Amino acid sequence: MIDADGFRPNVGIILADGRGRVLWARRVGGQDAWQFPQGGIKEDETAEQALYRELEEEVGLTADDVEILAVTQGWLRYRLPQKLVRQKEPRCVGQKQKWFLLKMLAEDSEVDLDAGGPPEFDQWRWVSYWYPLSKVVSFKREVYRRALKELVVAHNSLVNGADSRSEACLC
């Protein structure tokens, strides 16, 4: 399902542990490309339904293993580099994403990168909230900055309990 402007609807998943660290995963393929879990929204799905499907497929967690803390208000878009744009119809020039910040309720041992068919990731780790901003592939960097900035208040509430302005934005 690609919109009239060529953007594919997608969900982005920022999964935080109780200490506020976020799950950072390495894509299969040997290029040392790390990112947050993400995936397309099917035509018959809501963004929230896609979130739970992608969460289970990519990291083996279910709705019972997480709590939604916040979601971005509008669509955040990024364009693919020209060499990655599919030329045949329907032409996809990028992705438009709804980003979810989740609190992980399960134990780390519940993360299973092989849960949903061929794995998309081969390794994961916990990193600080702003760490991904300088490490993600360059064409996704602005979307990551906007998503992290929009969700930081909810993230800081998780970490600090009250004063959500204490972690400075490194964006």
Cβ count within 10 A of residue 125: 12
CATH number of 7-160: 3.90.79.10
Question: Is the pLDDT confidence value at 87 over 90?
Answer: no
Cβ count within 10 A of residue 11: 26
d(CA 61, CA 54): 9
User: So what's the pLDDT on residue 169?
Assistant: 55
Within 8 A by CB and 6+ apart from 134, the residues are: none
**What is the token pair recorded at 14?**
């920022």
Q: Give yes or no for a contact between 61 and 22, defined as CB atoms under 8 angstroms apart.
A: no
Structural domain spans, the chain: 7-160
Question: Is the pLDDT confidence value at 171 over 90?
Answer: no
- 115-145: per-residue pLDDT in tens? 888 999 999 999 999 999 999 999 999 999 9
> Taking residues 19-47, what's their average pLDDT?
95
